[in-house]
Structure 1
Amino acid sequence: MINAKFAPKLALLPLAAISLVACESQAEQEADRAEDAMEAQAEQSAMTSGTEQIALGMTEAQLIDADLVTADGTDLGDIEQVRRDASGAVTGLLVELDDTDPDRWVEVPMEGLTTRPDGTDMDVQTTMTAADLAALPDAQMTPAPTV
């Protein structure tokens, strides 16, 4: 049950959300739509790949759930998508970099990546620094080829 004193404020939440969206530029709205489409495609791909280990001894779902970290466990970004070539071979990981404004996504090549335990999960460890990642070009936000 909703407390009567909070009901008027709760009614304003949808209006606040609409106001926030209205403040975004056309480019920001298009970037949001591209990101949403890319994430939906990545989730669908992970669901269809099942339990097959595709890279680093991990399934696609495990990779998408992992963070990209340094050797000491410092979080560099979130893995959003597994990138493949036309034959289906994994070529890289699309990573949303931490602490960027506006948000930035880069494609990290598989060379030099390893796994790092994180409790009961696994993260992907890189030898790249935050500066190395920042120097990478922005990734294309188009859906990756699927197998």
Structure 2
Amino acid sequence: MFLLFFLLWLLLSGGVSLHACLWGLAVSALLTWFCRRVLGYDWRIFCGHPARIWALIRYFAHLVAEMLKAGLMVMKIIYVHPKKITPKLVWFRTPLQTDRHKAMLSDSITLTAGTITVRSQDGRLLVHALDAPLAEGIEDTAFQQQLEKMEGTQWRR
């Protein structure tokens, strides 16, 4: 966790200098201490088994690809057929059990252009889609299938 904070500090500082590195070390140490002691975070919760890391990498790669595809679809909807937009609200039940995976599904839907998760209640999600075709098949997305596999494995927390 410390290394990630430090790398983020260097990325955001805009350059590598002795001054930036010293401040980055201090701030990273403070944030790491805060996350572990006060918030109770443990690095093993996020990483754990190597297969879990690989599953997360595949999931986020798929998420980026879907974000790009959805962005292109939304651009087409807006620029080619702006008068034919038919927004739609869709309720669907998710079989995911853990709150962490439900939140990942909800955030993944929101991150893809043209859809937003409006509400999560009793294992159901309410999704607003910019256009009806964007809402098709949202009940059984690839995101949900991947999260179900990740949730059903024995190396989960």
Global fold match (TM > 0.5): no
- Larger Rg: 1 or 2? 2
With structure 2 as the length reference, what TM-score do the two structures score?
A: 0.33
- TM-score if structure 1 supplies the norm length? 0.35
Specify which structure has the higher proportion of helix: 2
